[in-house]
Amino acid sequence: MLNMHPSPPNSPQLVDTLRRPLRDLRISVTDRCNFRCPYCMPKHIFGPDHVFMERPQLLTFEEIERLARIAAGLGVTKLRLTGGEPLLRRQIDKLVGMLARVPGIQDLTLTTNGAALTPELANALQAAGLKRITISLDALDDATFGAMNDAGFTVARVLQAIEAAAQAGLLPVKVNMVVQRSVNAHSIVPMARHFRGSGHILRYIEYMDVGTTNGWKLAEVVPAAEIVRLLDAEFGIEPAGRNYTGEVAERWRYRDGSGEVGIISSVTQPFCGDCTRARISADGRLYTCLFAAEGHDLRTLMRAGADDAHIQRELAQIWARRTDRYSEMRSRETIPLHKVEMSFIGG
Ligand code: SAM
Ligand code: SF4
Ligand code: SF4
């Protein structure tokens, strides 16, 4: 028996065991990346010998579109394409076009490191139906940024990508900065100064213990409260509330009206109670939590010929059984689970 509770206008809404509806689907389109951020794909693990997925293992665009359509039938209204690096997937704009036409999808966005985002690609993505974009950038000086991408990419290249996205109308551009105390904490204020007044929304992300390879330590996490104190002392900020339930970033605005920043505090102030997100890995496994150890293999089901109703039933049952609230239960020790890597299921 599925957990359903009434939702306007008149359709029953699917909820999990903690009464959380399914609203967002994050779809990883590749496990490959041109960066080697040590907090995500450290080179000593993701080196030349690492075996990435082969093409037949990846969901095809048609399979991705089908899953998105089925999920939309269960209440999903927001899709995010991610990876690995989603812009490495060939003809990604074609996939965007297919997803933009899925009935019920109100928001379609993508998270990228920006390295491959040319003005032409930004325009093509916008024309295909992409509404917004998030571009990751961890520092403004090449020494720090170089250490954080570990693949020789410059800050200028990512700043150009941010401008290309803005010119293409993918607004507002969100800029994700993962903060690690010993690596880029000194960039917190300079990043704010740079993006203040630009219309782009900088979002600080607490360094998370995703996967098992990044050697996470609590001491490397700069708590959201500390980031707020720093920004308040420098510029003066005040809370701006959340746009909607389930929004991951806590919003703060500059008192002088020069814009806002977001802080994603999944370590120090977990937000599992509002978590309406599911994730699909590039090979078609459904994960109901970023920190899940196991996914549910939807690709095999699809390729065995299951019809839409069968897949929808399966998805609904998985969601209805969901109990995940990893961030709320995280202990001070890194929990000895075999957690899935972030580059595998996307952030
Ligand atoms: N490659 C794309 C990018 O970097 O934007 C998309 C995938 S990446 C896994 C998605 C987001 O997760 C990025 O903003 C990245 O900075 C963030 N991320 C990766 N590892 C993280 C970690 N250990 N803690 C917090 N955020 C992390
Ligand atoms: Fe690649 Fe993004 Fe992970 Fe960095 S955070 S290694 S850019 S997938
Ligand atoms: Fe959602 Fe899992 Fe993150 Fe909690 S830990 S917010 S349940 S993805």
pLDDT digits (tens, 9 = 90+) for 151-203: 999 999 999 999 999 999 999 999 999 999 999 999 999 999 999 999 999 99
Q: How far does CA 12 lie from the centroid of its chain?
A: 28
Distance from residue 165's CA to the centre of ligand 2 (Å): 19
Q: CA 132, CA 169: separation in Å to the nearest integer?
A: 8
Nearest ligand 3 atom to the CA of 248 is: 6
Residue with tokens 């899940």: 292
Q: CA 177, CA 191: separation in Å to the nearest integer?
A: 9
Q: What average pLDDT is seen over the chain?
A: 92
Distance from residue 136's CA to the centre of ligand 3 (Å): 20
Q: Which ligand is nearest to the CA of 211?
A: 1
Q: What is the mean pLDDT of residues 316-344?
A: 77
Q: Is 341 in the pocket of ligand 2 (CB under 6 A)?
A: no
Domain ranges of the chain: 24-345
pLDDT at 45: 93
Distance from residue 258's CA to the centre of ligand 3 (Å): 31
Distance from residue 317's CA to the centre of ligand 2 (Å): 31
Residue nearest to atom 8 of ligand 2 (CA): 84
pLDDT at 337: 58
Nearest ligand 3 atom to the CA of 326 is: 5
* pLDDT band per the 50, 70, 90 thresholds, residue 65: very high
Which residues does 235 contact at the CB level (< 8 Å), separation at least 6? Answer: 192, 193, 196, 254, 255, 256, 258
pLDDT at 191: 98
Q: CA 25, CA 82: separation in Å to the nearest integer?
A: 10
CA-based nearest residue to 206, from 254, 144, 158, 269: 269
Residue nearest to atom 7 of ligand 1 (CA): 83
Q: CA 347, CA 345: separation in Å to the nearest integer?
A: 7
57, two tokens: 């293992």
Q: Per-residue pLDDT for 341 more than 80?
A: no
Distance from residue 72's CA to the centre of ligand 3 (Å): 20
Q: Is 37 in the pocket of ligand 2 (CB under 6 A)?
A: yes
298, two tokens: 């939807």
Helix (H, G, I), strand (E, B) or coil at 222: coil
HEC string of 287-320 equals ECCCCCCCCEEHHHHHHCCCCHHHHHHHHHHHHH
Q: Per-residue pLDDT for 9 more than 70?
A: no
For the chain, how are helix, strand and coil distributed in percent, rounded to 5? Answer: 35, 20, 50
pLDDT at 79: 98
Residue nearest to atom 5 of ligand 2 (CA): 40
Nearest ligand 2 atom to the CA of 113 is: 7
For the CA atoms of 218, 224, 229, 231, the dihedral, rounded to the nearest 10 degrees, stands at: 120
Name the residue type at position 1.
Answer: M
pLDDT at 347: 67
Q: Per-residue pLDDT for 8 more than 70?
A: no
Residue nearest to atom 12 of ligand 1 (CA): 347
What sign has the CA pseudo-torsion 264, 269, 274, 276? positive
Residue nearest to atom 2 of ligand 3 (CA): 289
Q: How far does CA 6 lie from the centroid of its chain?
A: 29
Q: Which ligand is nearest to the CA of 328?
A: 3
Q: Calculate ∠ Cα 287-290-292, nearest 5°.
A: 60
pLDDT at 55: 96
Q: CA 234, CA 253: separation in Å to the nearest integer?
A: 13
Which residues does 278 contact at the CB level (< 8 Å), separation at least 6? Answer: 22, 24, 25, 26, 71, 76, 286, 287, 288, 319
pLDDT at 6: 40
**What are the tens digits of pLDDT across the range 86-101?**
999 999 999 999 999 9
pLDDT at 1: 46
Q: Per-residue pLDDT for 345 more than 60?
A: yes
* Domain 24-345 part of CATH 3.20.20.70: yes
**What are the tens digits of pLDDT across the range 239-258?**
998 766 667 889 999 999 99
Q: CA 114, CA 163: separation in Å to the nearest integer?
A: 10
pLDDT at 319: 98
Q: CA 255, CA 232: separation in Å to the nearest integer?
A: 9
pLDDT at 12: 65
Q: How far does CA 69 lie from the centroid of its chain?
A: 20
Which residues does 292 contact at the CB level (< 8 Å), separation at least 6? Answer: 324, 326, 339, 340
Q: Per-residue pLDDT for 333 more than 50?
A: no
Distance from residue 291's CA to the centre of ligand 3 (Å): 7
Say if residues 169 and 126 touch (Cβ distance below 8 Å): yes
pLDDT at 266: 86
Q: Which ligand is nearest to the CA of 138?
A: 1
Say if residues 267 and 330 touch (Cβ distance below 8 Å): yes
Residue nearest to atom 10 of ligand 1 (CA): 347
